[in-house]
């Protein structure tokens, strides 16, 4: 009986295990929680969210929406579970994180082909037809050392920051208003916390002068641009965050009839709407400083923080030098990597990498040709990026239309162009799925 080992029960790991099981392969899925927790994880559930609860836009004319549409066509367990646990978020797919993780865990544990083993892996498993390392960017130190030995190269490290969460009842709605940007989505999908020029300038001065928590145990203190702490972003200039997470475009304060000077948006953290996430406010400020500074925003003057922002390590390998386009190692083709550790960036990007690694590990075990999606597909484009030896100074990459080959015709309108790129991708993938 063919058997595979999957290390890690995050987005990539559960997708790998699911794809292998669909193809009749027995799977041992190793998850170290609750035997051991990373600095960012708190529960024993699979696919626990440690950053935002949003999986970004749903419309296929967006890169993230196209990615999820492709994943759905490939039978993604994460997209299916996300749709079952969705909370209102305008045009985005956001989830109740506890319900999402519970549904994923139940789905995987009930799969007869998947054996979930709660154990920390400190050696690369042997005796399997294929091994998939989907340990994630928060891989334990012991396993990281073994992966270093396996790859013969150093890891590249960066830091990922998470935003605070506040109690809904503690938000001063007399100083806030409900509206989705440009009125896209439901009326109450977002709570907007406006600031006038004077309030913003006072907040800004407090933010850039606030105390930052010390980072321990890491050699490289490089912050990844995709999850930049708001205090670091603010130090780039007084208007940087006003054109970033505090941008007021597409919003109009009903109390004044005008666009505010700056706006912090709050998004539901759970279905019940009892908790709200500070959108785009990933931070590494000390906890008392977060309370002091963020409470300067008028609508949050009495806010109760359910969770303060935290910063944690992310780690990824030099994939272009190490991996084939099927996610297998060039020097050890029976060993695959999957997920964010490969250098894809984002929840769904990690899951997509897991889908392809799982499919191709099964193909290798069954003696079949690997499935390499063309670069016209978003997943294919991401795969090409992380396996392209010509990529220098390799850094994580999320879904982006900039990764896709240009259309044969020039289309000036961006929305129309993105729509055509999405149409081309989904049409192509529909034919490919028939052969997988």
% of the chain with per-residue pLDDT over 90: 75
pLDDT digits (tens, 9 = 90+) for 93-140: 999 999 999 999 999 999 999 999 999 999 999 999 999 999 987 888
- What is the maximum alpha-carbon separation in the chain? 69
DSSP conformational letter for 110: T
How high is the pLDDT of residue 196? 97
How high is the pLDDT of residue 127? 96
DSSP character string of 165-194: EEEGGGS-GGG-EE--GGG-S-TTSEEEEE
Q: Check: CATH 3.50.50.60 for 3-159+314-433?
A: yes
Residues of the chain with CATH 2.40.30: 165-309
Q: Return d(Cα 233, Cα 211) in angstroms, integer.
A: 15
Q: Return d(Cα 411, Cα 420) in angstroms, integer.
A: 9
pLDDT: is 182 or 104 the higher one? 104
Contacts of 137 (CB under 8 A, 6+ apart): 160, 313, 314, 315, 316, 340, 341
Alpha helices in 74-179 (DSSP H): 77-84, 97-109, 141-151
Nearest to 117 by CA among 281, 6, 277: 6
DSSP character string of 251-314: --BTTTTB--SEEEEEEESSTT--EEEETT----B-HHHHHHHHTTSGGGTT--EEE---EEEE
H or E, element range at 30: strand 26-31
Spatial contact of 31 and 8, defined as CB atoms under 8 Å apart: yes
How high is the pLDDT of residue 311? 79
Spatial contact of 47 and 11, defined as CB atoms under 8 Å apart: yes
Fold of 165-309: Elongation Factor Tu (Ef-tu); domain 3 (2.40.30)
Spatial contact of 311 and 215, defined as CB atoms under 8 Å apart: yes
% of the chain with per-residue pLDDT over 70: 96
pLDDT digits (tens, 9 = 90+) for 11-26: 999 999 999 999 999 9
> Positive or negative, the Cα torsion across 409, 412, 414, 419?
negative
0.85 exceeded by pTM: no
How high is the pLDDT of residue 215? 66
How high is the pLDDT of residue 42? 80
pLDDT > 60? residue 222: no
How high is the pLDDT of residue 218? 41
How high is the pLDDT of residue 224? 58
Residues of the chain with CATH 3.50.50.60: 3-159+314-433
The residue behind tokens 């996430």 is: 277
How high is the pLDDT of residue 162? 81
pLDDT > 70? residue 220: no
How high is the pLDDT of residue 121? 95
Spatial contact of 186 and 308, defined as CB atoms under 8 Å apart: no
pLDDT digits (tens, 9 = 90+) for 80-100: 999 999 999 999 999 999 999
H or E, element range at 6: strand 3-7
How high is the pLDDT of residue 52? 86
How many Cβ atoms sit within 10 Å of the Cβ of residue 375? 18
């Amino acid at each position: 009986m063919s058997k595979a080992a999957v290390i890690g029960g995050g987005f990539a790991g559960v997708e790998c295990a699911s794809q292998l099981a669909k193809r009749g392969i027995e799977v041992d899925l190793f998850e170290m929680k609750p035997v051991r927790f990373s600095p960012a994880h708190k529960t024993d559930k699979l696919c626990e969210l440690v950053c935002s609860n949003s999986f970004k836009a749903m419309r296929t004319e967006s890169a993230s929406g196209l990615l999820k549409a492709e994943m759905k066509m490939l039978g993604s367990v994460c997209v299916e579970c996300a749709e079952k646990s969705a909370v209102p978020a305008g045009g985005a797919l956001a989830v109740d994180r506890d319900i999402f993780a519970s549904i994923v865990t139940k789905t995987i544990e009930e799969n007869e082909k998947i054996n979930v083993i709660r154990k920390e892996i400190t050696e690369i498993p042997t005796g399997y037809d294929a091994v998939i390392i989907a340990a994630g960017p928060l891989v334990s130190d012991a396993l990281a050392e073994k992966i270093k030995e396996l790859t013969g190269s150093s890891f590249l490290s960066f830091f990922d920051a998470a935003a605070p969460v506040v109690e809904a009842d503690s938000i001063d709605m007399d100083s806030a208003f409900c509206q989705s940007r440009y009125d896209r989505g439901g009326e109450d999908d977002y709570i907007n916390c406006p600031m006038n020029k004077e309030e913003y300038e006072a907040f800004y001065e407090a933010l850039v002068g606030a105390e930052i928590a010390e980072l321990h145990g890491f050699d490289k203190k490089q912050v990844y641009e995709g999850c930049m702490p708001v205090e670091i972003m603010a130090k780039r200039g007084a208007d940087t965050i006003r054109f970033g997470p505090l941008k007021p475009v597409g919003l109009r304060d009903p109390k004044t009839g005008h666009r505010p000077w700056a706006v912090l948006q709050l998004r539901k953290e759970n279905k019940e709407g009892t908790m709200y996430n500070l959108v785009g406010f990933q931070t590494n400020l000390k906890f008392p400083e977060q309370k002091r500074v963020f409470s300067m925003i008028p609508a949050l003057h009495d806010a109760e923080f359910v969770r303060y922002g935290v910063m944690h390590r992310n780690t990824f390998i030099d994939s272009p030098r190490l991996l084939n386009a099927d996610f297998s190692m060039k020097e050890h083709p029976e060993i695959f990597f999957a997920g964010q550790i490969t250098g894809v960036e984002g929840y769904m990007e990690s899951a997509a990498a897991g889908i392809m690694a799982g499919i191709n590990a099964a193909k290798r075990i069954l003696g079949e040709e690997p499935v390499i999606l063309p670069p016209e597909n978003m997943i294919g484009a991401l795969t090409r990026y992380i396996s392209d030896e010509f990529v220098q100074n390799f850094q994580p990459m999320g879904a982006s239309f900039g990764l896709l080959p240009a259309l044969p015709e020039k289309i000036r309108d961006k929305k129309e162009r993105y729509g055509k790129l999405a149409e081309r991708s989904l049409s192509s993938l529909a034919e490919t799925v028939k052969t997988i």
